[in-house]
Amino acid sequence: MRIRYTGAMHRRLAPAFMLAALMLAFAPAARADFQVTNVRTSASPIVVLMRTLSLGSTGEDVTRLQEFLRARGYFSYPSSTGYFGAATQAAVIAFQKDNGIDPVGIAGPFTRARIAVLSAPPVVITSIDISTSTPHHSRHHSHGNDSAPPADTQPPTVSVTAPSADAILAGASVAFAADASDDTGVAGVQFQVDGSPVGAEVTAAPYTISWDSTSVADGAHVVTAVARDAQGNMATSTDVSITVDNTAPAVTIIGPIGTVLSSSPIALGANVADDSAVTVTLVVTDAAPPNTVRFSSGDLTSEPFGTSWTPPGNGSYVLTVTATDAAGNVGTATKAFSYVVLEPS
């Protein structure tokens, strides 16, 4: 086969002639020579997206996608940002629905191919001269089934492995982890809290990320992980319920107070308020350096948080009460007091 182009042809015309070339190249027993002249085309470029785009993607190709969607009334954001956010995802979903594509909100192979077709400039060919002859044999032979392999529609599997269900969490560095697998490979895993993305998509195993729990209010929340493959199939893990607690226990010392005149053990105690279980310790030290420890209660895990103690003699002391809750938050309170041995009358 010999193909000769003449006339004013733009370098973007190659896709426009692809169909004719394929038809001739795969004719079972024909050889063709043809000449194409007097070709006109629009100057508008074809939108070719070379990779799959999804939430968190950035770059010039995201900008081209947004401009294409804006030109067709799908993307209403004030400007093309080059960032694939929620507004871009919503526009992609609307475009997919209108074009018979599974509305997953990811610009995968089918979506990108449809965009390329719709953005291709119109071509007018006013003269084609084709002649064919039958060779002694064809260069093309059929070897079995030449049909395309079936499309991959199997979504990945994914599960959250950290945190554990019903965990009580606190702090600015909470570890999230997930397991994910797919028959053609996992392209990425996106962690979410209450349905909102946490950080960037993790594109390679191990699928882990650090989360700042102070970014949400104390209380109940849900952690999930969304896995996708290269074909745009997506799966969401089972919800993992957690409780965020970044508030320290409130500690109030109720005794002793001031100067204690006594010849018997004195009461040491505190009230502690918190949303979860707490562990409390009471420690008495000398008020003066080197602040020798005179008494320690050990861990108290249930109310009343108190005990009794007999001082070694007259002196000034400091009671320190420390309360630690289930999330690891720590609350403390201190109170100075004096002890005077009351002589028997």
Total residues belonging to the chain: 345
DSSP 93-154: HHHHHHTT----SSB-HHHHHHHHHHHSPPEEEEEEEEEEE--SS-S----S--SPPPP--P
**pLDDT at position 120, please?**
82
3-state secondary structure of 335: strand
pLDDT tens, residue by residue, 68-102: 999 999 999 988 999 999 999 999 999 999 999 99
pLDDT tens, residue by residue, 39-48: 455 556 789 9
| Alpha carbon distance 86, 160 (integer Å) | 23
Average confidence (pLDDT) over 111-121:
90
**pLDDT at position 10, please?**
41
Neighbours of 246 (CB within 10 A): 16
Find tokens 């009460």 and name the residue.
321
Residue 131 has pLDDT above 60, yes or no: no
3-state secondary structure of 283: strand
| Alpha carbon distance 325, 168 (integer Å) | 10
Residue 189 has pLDDT above 90, yes or no: yes
Residues of the chain with pLDDT > 90, as a percent, come to 70
Residue 220 has pLDDT above 50, yes or no: yes
- Domains, the chain, in order of start with CATH, read 2-124 (1.10.101.10), 157-242 (2.60.40.10), 250-341 (2.60.40.10)
pLDDT band of residue 107 (cuts 50, 70, 90) is very high
Report which of residues 241 and 22 the model is more confident about: 241
Average pLDDT score over the chain: 84
pLDDT band of residue 32 (cuts 50, 70, 90) is very low
List, in order, residues 6 or more apart from 267 with CB less than 8 Å away.
Answer: 255, 256, 306, 307, 308
